[in-house]
Amino acid sequence: MPIDIELNKIYNEDCRSTMSKLPFNSIDLTITSPPYDDLRTYNNHIKTGSSEFNGYSFPFEDIAQELFRITKQGGTLVWVVGDSTISGNETGNSFRQALFFKEIGFNLFDTMIYSKPPRGACGNNSTYWQTFEYMFILSKGKPKTLNLIKDRENKESRAGDKGTKRLRSGELLQVKRGGYGKFGRRTNIWEYRIGKGHSSNDQIAHEHPAIFPEDLAFDHIKSWSNPGDIVYDPMMGSGTVAKMCILENRNFIGSEINPEYCRIANQRITKYLPSDDSKEYGRAAV
């Protein structure tokens, strides 16, 4: 189904409004991190110029149903989420959400971990240091794009080897073991350093309180989409997914309900947009 809203644009509205304009089966990949467990208020009551922003709303089940409707057959949703702990009891909302996605038809393709090395004096002294979030990889049917990243150095014999194996009969059997490539598939635990100078070099991005690393967005874009595909972020925040889509030649659509964050995202991505006379852009342009 063709999309008749403008591509490569961040819409300052509730993601349900944006999705209501998107046809069934129209998005190749969604990457997003929702506001979880009210851990942050996201400037819920701010005045911007003449208009007043009266806070975000997060009706999870409605948003999930709409995400399923707009995802193409074989398309993928990356849901990056963590839980808060209230009086020593984790909310478990991330699991509830993952199971709800399954109930409405998504396939839970992989439960991945976004790990962050411990930093700063934070955390709860009475538990092990919390250093990860979940990255639920949900697909509508079997994923149509799987570009698994191979950057884990194989420490095992790479050339392969020959040897002998003694059989129960006592005889020696000549055996040959095939080699490995220099690099193999990475594991499903991805680690990123976070904070200024790590998540993004764009100073303006850090005006948002909860960005995820550009490399995380990049790695998911590479894994589950191809150049020219349409990638959606319903909760665009500082524009991380939009920036990485520009650099990786994907089309993007974004929604961000907060006008101030929408302004930050647009200002951030402007310098990465290709100029009219040159459509040649890519990661090398960073």
Ligand X SMILES: C[S@@+](CC[C@H](N)C(=O)[O-])C[C@H]1O[C@@H](n2cnc3c(N)ncnc32)[C@H](O)[C@@H]1O
Q: Is 218 helix (H, G, I), strand (E, B) or coil?
A: helix
Which range, of 45-53, 84-92, 96-104, 253-261, touches ligand X by CB under 6 A?
Answer: 253-261
Size of the residue set binding ligand X (CB under 6 A) = 22
Judged by CB under 6 A, does residue 255 bind ligand X? yes
Least Å distance, CB 214 to ligand X, is 8
Q: How far is CA 55 from CA 36, 39, 210, in A?
A: 15, 14, 16
**Closer to ligand X at the Cβ: 42 or 106?**
42
**Closer to ligand X at the Cβ: 46 or 184?**
46
Cβ atoms 265, 242 nearer than 8 A = yes
Main-chain phi, psi angles of 87, to 5 degrees: 50, 50
Least Å distance, CB 238 to ligand X, is 3
107 forms beta bridges with 139
**Is residue 256 classed exposed, middle or buried when 0-12, 13-18 and 19+ CB atoms within 10 A define those classes?**
buried
Least Å distance, CB 150 to ligand X, is 26
Q: Is 195 helix (H, G, I), strand (E, B) or coil?
A: coil
* Residue 100: its H or E element: helix 93-103
Q: Work out which of 22, 26, 30, 56 binds ligand X, going by CB under 6 A.
A: 56
Kindly state the tokens that stand for 173. 């059997």
Least Å distance, CB 135 to ligand X, is 12
Q: Is 13 helix (H, G, I), strand (E, B) or coil?
A: coil
**Is residue 167 classed exposed, middle or buried when 0-12, 13-18 and 19+ CB atoms within 10 A define those classes?**
exposed
**Closer to ligand X at the Cβ: 75 or 239?**
239
Q: Work out which of 256, 266, 268, 269 binds ligand X, going by CB under 6 A.
A: 256
In the region spanning residues 185 to 214, those forming contacts with ligand X, defined by CB under 6 A, are 208, 210-212
Q: What is the CA radius of gyration of the chain?
A: 22
* Residue 183: its H or E element: strand 183-184
Q: How far is CA 133 from CA 61, 144, 192, 206, 220, in A?
A: 20, 25, 11, 19, 15
Judged by CB under 6 A, does residue 57 bind ligand X? yes
In the region spanning residues 223 to 252, those forming contacts with ligand X, defined by CB under 6 A, are 234-235, 237-238, 240
Judged by CB under 6 A, does residue 218 bind ligand X? no
In the region spanning residues 260 to 279, those forming contacts with ligand X, defined by CB under 6 A, are 261
Per-residue binder mask for ligand X (CB under 6 A), 27-46, x = binder = ------x-x------x----
Sites of contact with ligand X (CB under 6 A):
14-15, 33, 35, 42, 56-58, 208, 210-212, 234-235, 237-238, 240, 255-258, 261
